[in-house]
Structure 1
Amino acid sequence: MATVSLEQVRKVYPNGHVGVDDASFTIADGELLVLVGPSGCGKTTLLRMIAGLESMSSGTLRIDGRVVNDVAPKDRDIAMVFQNYALYPHMTVAQNLGFGLHLRGKPKEEIERRVRDAARLLELEHRLDARPAALSGGQRQRVALGRALVREPKVFLLDEPLSNLDARLRLSMRVEIARLHRRLNTTTLYVTHDQVEAMTLGERIVVIDGGTIQQIDTPMNLYDKPANLFVAGFLGSPAMNLLRGRLLRENGWQLILPDAALRIHPSSAQAAALEAWNGRDVALGIRPEDVQVVAPTDAVLEAKVEVIEPVGNEAFLNLRFADQAIVSRVSPQHMPAPCTTLPLAFAHGRLHFFDAESGKRIA
């Protein structure tokens, strides 16, 4: 196991495009860190630079305290699992698992031991003589993971390993990866564009957009205290509701929208911070679970139900208020009829405020 440390790592392409801009963070020994962001944000570029498959324009990369900027990939003691399985179709599962060890000239007995141990961990013992064509998608992905496991590297790098699987297999493989990490306790960097994967797998999450790190924190801190509008909108399913308007303190706090004025109730700590934004444009964020159906006398606004999405243990109400779309998460036992107008309020102490111009959170 090892730590991985990045200090102001940058990647600039010959055409001037900045793929990664001043990335700095440390993956602790034994930590599972998730790098998440939309397609094209630079997360895979960052992973490939750590692996040595992409050159760095500037900055310092350390693995286990050693600077590896100019160290060849094979000498970094890392193992990488790619989005596609990249298995050799003519080889059995056992041969695929042990192929890298054969290339490194490991003794036959050691190769057999490592292959056997990896197969037992991944529940592939009964498939060691099968070829990839005879395996399910989940089994192929486990073989790809096993090929990295047998290396016994200091660091695992996983590049969207579940994106080719269907929803049911993704769920089961997420559990497998989490369970595997707890057993092995190997330093792991996991790249994904799926925020559900990021929230369920990561001990910490690095959110990246446009090549720039937006926030690094634990999953629940990111969810409860997003640093800016990008993080607020990216993490959470459905995404955070955002209402943009002018903040006004007049007999309490109001958010002035083009067609309405909303009475809002920030916490005492938020109210103190909002004094500097009185009369200025802000973005108000509310998670769907914090948009509540209430008695008409307690309502902050009334919105019309446009679409209802029942998903089993909960339902999402897609509502329209003036020109604004709002989503509310409710119990399926209390679903209204479409086109109903509902009185709504926001959960006290659960509001998020952002500077409308910079997008930064108002603390």
Structure 2
Amino acid sequence: MAQVRFDAVRKVYPNGFVGVAGASFEVVDGELLVLVGPSGCGKSTLLRMVAGLEAISDGTLTIGDRVVNDVAPKDRDIAMVFQSYALYPHMSVAENLAFGLKLRGQSKSEIAARVTEAAQMLELDQVLDRKPGQLSGGQRQRVALGRALVRQPQVFLLDEPLSNLDAKLRSGMRVEIARLHRKLGTTMIYVTHDQIEAMTLGQRIVVLKDGRIQQIDTPMALYERPANLFVATFLGSPAMNVLRGRLERDGRSWTLEAGDEVSLALGEAEFPPDWAGREVDLGIRPEHLLPAAAGAASLAPVVEVVEPVGSEVFANLRLGRHALIARLPPDRVPVPGETLPLSIPSGRVHAFDVGTGERLVPRA
């Protein structure tokens, strides 16, 4: 096991495109860290630089105590699991698991021991004689994980390993990967564009956009205290509601004047007095739009579309020019066309600067 440290690491391509702009962070020894962001944000580029598949334009990359900028991929003591399973179709599961060890000259007894251990850990011991074409998608992905596992590397790199699986298999494999990490305690860097995978797997998450790090923190800290509007709207399903408007103060009570005669009552929000008259982007999580008691409504949008999903109901709403979504309990399913009085719990709104998108934090 080893820590991985990025120190102002940059990737600039020959055409001048900046794939990664000065990434500096550390993956702690034994940590499962997730790189997440939309396509083209630089997450796979960072992973490929750790693997040695992309040259580093500037900065320093360290694995353990060794700077690896100019170290060949085969000498970095890493193992990588790709989006495609990349299994040899003419080899059995056992042969696929053993192949890398044979190339490294391991003894037959050592290879057999490691293959058996990995197969039992990943519940592949009953299919060792089968070819990849005879396996399910989940089994093939476990073989790809097992092939990396038998190497016993310092660092595991996983590049969107679940993208080719259906929803049910993805959910199951997420649990298997988390269980595997907990058992092994090995350093893992996991790349995904799926924020659900990021939130459920990562001990910490690095959120990227346009080659730049937006925020690094634990999943719940990112969810509850996003550094900017991009992080706020990227993490969370359904996404955070955002209303742009002007804050107004009446005594200790605040409202957001959001145009189209939309006035959102915020109660005694913890805003400093000098925010009165300030234009902001106000964020509200769907679960914080709650059915209001009589006379206690903060807003009264019109229901457009209802999505019952069993344990909860997603209500797509219209408030003037603003589209909103509320996550509601299933005991009362609203009807399209009705007006739905909602309230917002105290302290459950997020304010962002309309120019920079940065989170606005009241001064102490």
TM-score if structure 2 supplies the norm length?
A: 0.97
Contact 1:266 1:351 survives alignment (8 Å): no
> 1:96 is matched with which residue?
96
> 1:105 is matched with which residue?
105
Partner-residue secondary structure (3-state), 1:91: coil
**What is the alpha-carbon root mean square deviation over aligned residues?**
1.0
Q: How does 1:204-353 map to 2 (within 5 A)?
A: 204-251=204-251, 252-259=253-260, 260-265=262-267, 267=269, 270-272=270-272, 275-353=273-351
Q: How does 1:104-123 map to 2 (within 5 A)?
A: 104-123=104-123
Paired with 1:191 and 1:118, the residues of 2 have a C-alpha distance of 23
> 2:64 is matched with which residue?
64
Paired with 1:106 and 1:224, the residues of 2 have a C-alpha distance of 49
Q: Which amino acid aligns with 1:357?
A: G
> 2:359 is matched with which residue?
361
Contact 1:241 1:285 survives alignment (8 Å): yes
Cα offset, 1:313, TM superposition: 0.6
Contact 1:310 1:332 survives alignment (8 Å): yes
Higher helix share: 1
Partner-residue secondary structure (3-state), 1:243: strand
Cα offset, 1:303, TM superposition: 0.7
Cα offset, 1:323, TM superposition: 0.7
Misfit runs of 4+, over 4 Å: none
Paired with 2:325 and 2:44, the residues of 1 have a C-alpha distance of 32
Distance of aligned partners of 1:266 and 1:283 in 2 relative to their CA distance in 1, 3 Å threshold:
farther
Contact 1:241 1:288 survives alignment (8 Å): yes
Cα offset, 1:276, TM superposition: 4.1
Q: How does 1:35-74 map to 2 (within 5 A)?
A: 35-74=35-74
> 1:3 is matched with which residue?
3
Cα offset, 1:266, TM superposition: 5.4
Deviations 1:185-231 (A, max 9, x none): 00000000000000000000000011100000000000000000000
Identity %: 65
Paired with 1:51 and 1:112, the residues of 2 have a C-alpha distance of 27
Q: Which amino acid aligns with 2:157?
A: L
Deviations 1:233-278 (A, max 9, x none): 00000000000011222342221112122221354xx323xx4433
Partner-residue secondary structure (3-state), 1:242: strand
> 1:26 is matched with which residue?
26
Deviations 1:64-119 (A, max 9, x none): 02111110111110000000000000000000001011111111111111111100
Greater mean alpha carbon deviation, residues 66-75 or residues 243-252:
243-252
Paired with 2:274 and 2:265, the residues of 1 have a C-alpha distance of 18
Deviations 1:314-338 (A, max 9, x none): 1100000101011110111111111
Distance of aligned partners of 1:161 and 1:119 in 2 relative to their CA distance in 1, 3 Å threshold:
same
Contact 1:2 1:64 survives alignment (8 Å): yes
Paired with 2:118 and 2:226, the residues of 1 have a C-alpha distance of 39
Partner-residue secondary structure (3-state), 2:341: strand
Unaligned runs of 5+ in 2: none
Cα offset, 1:295, TM superposition: 2.6
Distance of aligned partners of 1:48 and 1:266 in 2 relative to their CA distance in 1, 3 Å threshold:
farther
Paired with 1:324 and 1:250, the residues of 2 have a C-alpha distance of 24
Paired with 1:184 and 1:307, the residues of 2 have a C-alpha distance of 46
Paired with 2:299 and 2:93, the residues of 1 have a C-alpha distance of 60
Paired with 2:268 and 2:71, the residues of 1 have a C-alpha distance of 53
Unaligned runs of 5+ in 1: none
Paired with 1:134 and 1:45, the residues of 2 have a C-alpha distance of 33
Contact 1:89 1:132 survives alignment (8 Å): yes
Q: Which amino acid aligns with 2:338?
A: T
The count of aligned residue pairs is: 359
Distance of aligned partners of 1:107 and 1:43 in 2 relative to their CA distance in 1, 3 Å threshold:
same
Paired with 2:43 and 2:245, the residues of 1 have a C-alpha distance of 33
Paired with 1:266 and 1:33, the residues of 2 have a C-alpha distance of 38
Paired with 1:265 and 1:73, the residues of 2 have a C-alpha distance of 58
Paired with 2:278 and 2:18, the residues of 1 have a C-alpha distance of 33
> 1:166 is matched with which residue?
166
Greater mean alpha carbon deviation, residues 219-228 or residues 257-266:
257-266
Paired with 1:170 and 1:211, the residues of 2 have a C-alpha distance of 27
Cα offset, 1:343, TM superposition: 1.0
Q: Which amino acid aligns with 1:350?
A: R
